[in-house]
Amino acid sequence: MLQRPSRSIHCLAIAVFSLVGSVFLTSAVTAQDSDGFDARYARMQSLGDRIKSKVYRDSVKPKWFGENSDRFWYQVQTGANTHEFITVDAQAGTRKRSFDHQALADALTEQTDTQYHADRLPLKRLRFEGDPAHLLMVVDQRAWQFELPNGPLIAQDDDVSATALKPLSRLRRSRSGTDETKIRFVNQTSQKLDISWIDFQGDPKPMGQVEAGKSVDFSTYCKHIWMLSESSGKPVALYSANESADSAIFDGKSERPEMKWDRHDARKFQSWASPDGKFAIDIRDDNIVLKNTEDKSESMLTTDGTPEHRYGPDVYWSPQSDRFFVLKTRVGQGREITIVKSSPDGSVHPELKTIRYEKPGDQRSHSRPVLFAKSNDWKPETIEDDLFPNPFALGNFHWHSSGSRFSFLYNQRGHQRHSLISVDANSNQPRVAIDETSDTFICYSGKTYLHRIDDTDELIWMSERSGWNHLYLIDQVSGEVKNPVTHGDWVVRSVEHVDDQKRQIWLIVSGIDADQDPYQRHLIRVNFDGTQLTRLTSGDGDHTWQFSPDRRFLIDTMSRVDLAPVTVLRSADTGDPICELERSDIASLLETGWQLPRRFVAKARDGVTDIHGIIIRPTNFDPLKKYPVVENIYAGPHSSFVPKAFGVHRGLYEIAELGFIVVKIDGMGTSNRSKAFHDVCWKHLHDSGFPDRIRWIQAAAADRPWMDLTRVGIYGGSAGGQSAMRALIDHHDFYHVAVADCGCHDNRVDKIWWNEQWMGWPIGKEYSDASNVDQAHRMQGRLMLIWGELDTNVDPASTMQVVNALIKADKDFDMLCIPGAGHGAAGHPYGKRRQAEFLMRHLQ
């Protein structure tokens, strides 16, 4: 059976137990008093297997025949264990099978005495050659050539093992990959070997074994790392999965991998060569050293650098090699937090772990540019910072192509000013080229973009100054807006591509169609002067796309939560459709009882703005019954969170399988709408869009009698954990039960960049108003707190401070701390069961 690790596995403890303080902890629910909890939980656990791999023809991964070719091929899944190979001629607009599948299956069967089937050909490392006149491939470790379209089949003498996966010499972490592939472990030794997947933290996760002299297949993703080890646990080989090679052949002769992380800090001693190669800069002991690469002489340019006032770490040379600048930084507070690993493997004694963790209000590092010029014997000239006195950060450093000036972005502490500072390299005088300000906040983490066009002294700048996120063409010298690149009551989500020669820009946008869901993404192209806006995708859905290597064609996949993917080949110039490639088949998924989510729109608190969300029903849904309603909440202002693209949305459906109607909503205060919509969060993270969410749920239930609003629960993690608990503080008349997982319950205790952006700086009374700790005494309802003791995202003390406040207020609650767990502890199997049990106990 093919096995696959999840794309994101939390670093959790193997041994798990419940940590109980002096608070009331309800005992585990039995079958007699849980109204069928065991059966419902079993349904929840089995859902993944029941709906797994039930969607076909939903993905096209093109393999173009060349950089400028009109043709490509792809393999598409047509059933549970079947697939076919398709070739497309983009110029002619034709799509057909790449070859005669039955003829190839018959030829393989005849020459190998193994039965092959036309709809499940196990072809690996396919390569079309000869325009294409024949197909080269590997089948079960043998190389073949097949003349197109229907044979003959000719065995090749290629050494297949030579193209197998090469062992890695050093341990790596798995990287997140979206391209599915397979890896086959071939054990050519006389001993059984253990197989582990290396997760994203670098920890091995046991996945199975491969017997001596045997092979075993696993499904995985490209860039995932796998390890073979002896029964003693000693690693013998590491492999990185990829698409072109799938066999990890181990014969016992390869060198054993290095299993220690390479933690060498290259920045402690690093050299930056000038563009002309005549000079280089070293940073030694926090000072600047100039090296002449021709005579090897060295000059110490600074001597005042210290660990507290350091130069570097980067050097920025002018294009003409006659100047450079570095940052001199007064090092900030550098807060560290200590967390406890209570139950380390192989020891009865706890371990301490210390991590750097800046919090709101902490003293930040303060940097200023220092300029060095050859004409001034490379003497340091510090740039006065009167125009950028209080930086949260400086960034996006750039020398103008003329070498006459350099510029950088100034993000002022408090995130209400975002400026482009330009420095004259002759006079050393800075000026404000662009000054973006806001009465609330500037979303520096998600809604800023700067593209310089030095040849014409222009730049493209992102701004919400109109009330909507758009782009502007600006004169670099004067800072004046030459023209809006985009405008209207819709938003630019991000920049896809810029062509300075054609003076065109490709953008991902949403809300551009007034009659569609405003979050659905589309691709457009527009000229720098704002003319000739061209729609490159169309249709009522959320779009993703892939360009051909020469950008003449694009493969557009459109879907919604209630519409399976449809993939169309389009002209990348006009957006006109060329041919439909695939239309997804979800019949097998629907046969399991899985039902499409229902989209629903209701008015916000203002009675005008549309609020969008989805409704999830269990696979055994009965419209004659009444179901408790459970909301999955995440209200982080950095994005929006209701799914727009098609998917099985397993996590939401698992909760529904317990006998709930699950809803997910984007209320006011989240992103990707207007500036006014977003500003609701400003200094009011505890708002969480609840007035909109409650109205939405009430409107949805008005004509859905199976939604029982006398029993409403809520659950969420991280910022969603903060919101889940807040529901019982501010809105306990509507929400009755909440599970808060790893919540950032007090914005003064959480990470600096996220909280100061939305809550402001300096720290004010609003932080206390939003604090679940300070407001815990007002909590009413059934609350469960879950967290991991090794959470490096949200300080675990945040939850413990809530616990302390609840105890002082004499409030009953449940809590679960999972030893060894990190962020998202409720995703651990034990955490999932306890969360499910809690919701059922108090809502059913």
CB 173 within 8 A of CB 262: no
816 neighbors 785 (Cβ within 8 angstroms): yes
> DSSP class of residue 170?
B
| Residue 711, number of CB atoms within 10 A of its CB | 17
Say whether both 171 and 224 belong to one domain: yes
- Is 356 a member of any domain? yes
CB count in 10 Å sphere of residue 829? 10
Residue ranges of the chain with per-residue pLDDT less than 50: 1-34, 262-269
Whether 463 is covered by a domain: the verdict is: no
**Statement to judge: residues 162 and 284 lie in one domain:** no
Final residue in a domain of this structure, among 209, 233, 263: 263
pLDDT value of residue 182: 83
* Residues with Cβ within 8 Å of residue 1, at least 6 apart in sequence: none
Whether residue 321 is contained in a domain is answered as yes
Domain final position from 404, 437, 470: 437
Q: Which CATH number covers residue 128?
A: 2.60.40.780
Residue 600, Cβ density class (10 Å: 0-12 exposed, 13-18 middle, ≥19 buried): middle
Residue 170 lies in a domain: yes
Contact 493, 508 (CB under 8 A): yes
| Residues 256, 384 within the same domain | no
Q: Are strands 598-603 and 351-356 parallel, antiparallel or unpaired?
A: unpaired
Q: Are 60 and 582 in contact (CB under 8 A)?
A: yes
SS3 46: helix
Q: Which residue has the tokens 């992103």?
A: 671
Indicate the Cα dihedral angle 42, 43, 45, 46, nearest 10°: 110
* Domain end marker among 392, 411, 437: 437
Q: Are residue 161 and residue 191 in the same domain, yes or no? A: yes
Q: For position 176, what pLDDT does the model report?
A: 80
At 217, which amino acid appears?
A: D
Residues 669 and 799 in one domain: yes
Helix 719-730, helix 690-702: angle, nearest 10: 70
Q: What CATH number does the domain containing 627 carry? A: 3.40.50.1820
Does residue 302 belong to any structural domain of this protein? Answer: yes
Extended beta strands in 90-245, E state: 94-97, 123-129, 134-139, 142-147, 153-155, 180-187, 193-198, 204-210, 215-221, 225-229, 235-240
Residues 255 and 190 in one domain: yes
257 and 398 part of one domain: no
Question: In 466-523, which residue ranges form alpha helices assigned H by DSSP?
Answer: none
Q: For helices 37-51 and 829-843, what crossing angle results, to 10°? A: 130
Task: Give the CATH number of the domain where residue 418 resides.
Answer: 2.140.10.30
Q: Are residues 416 and 288 in the same domain?
A: yes
Q: Are residues 303 and 222 in the same domain?
A: no
Residue type, 206: P
Are 136 and 45 in the same domain?
no
Q: Are residues 118 and 205 in the same domain?
A: yes
Contact 443, 463 (CB under 8 A): no
* Cβ-based neighbours of 113, under 8 Å, separated by 6 or more: none
State how far the Cα of 265 lies from the Cα of 383, in Å rounded to an integer: 29
Q: What is the C-alpha to C-alpha distance for residues 269 and 315, in angstroms, rounded to an integer?
A: 12
Residue 430's closest CA among 420, 439, 440?
Answer: 420
- 420 contacts 451 by C-beta, under 8 angstroms: no
Pairing verdict, β 737-741 and 782-788: parallel
pLDDT, tens digit, 9 for 90 and up, residues 140-175: 889 999 999 999 999 998 766 656 788 998 888 898
Q: Where are the alpha helices (DSSP H) in 548-649?
A: 587-591
Contact 602, 700 (CB under 8 A): yes
Would residue 538 count as lying in a domain? Answer: no
Task: Annotate 257-270 with b (16+ C-beta within 10 A) or e (fewer).
Answer: beeeeeeeeeeeee
Q: What is the C-alpha separation between 629 and 608, in angstroms, rounded?
A: 25
| pLDDT value of residue 6 | 41
Domain-embedded: residue 23: no
Q: Are residues 123 and 194 in the same domain?
A: yes
Q: pLDDT, tens digit, for every residue of 16-25?
A: 333 333 333 3
Is 719 a member of any domain? yes
Residue 160: per-residue pLDDT: 65
- In terms of residue numbers, what domain contains 784? 37-52+590-843
> What is the reported pTM?
0.88
DSSP β-bridge partners for residue 505: 498, 526
What is the β-pairing status of strands 627-632 and 661-666?
A: parallel
Count of structural domains, the chain: 3
**Measuring CA to CA, which residue among 566, 563, 659 is closest to residue 616?**
659
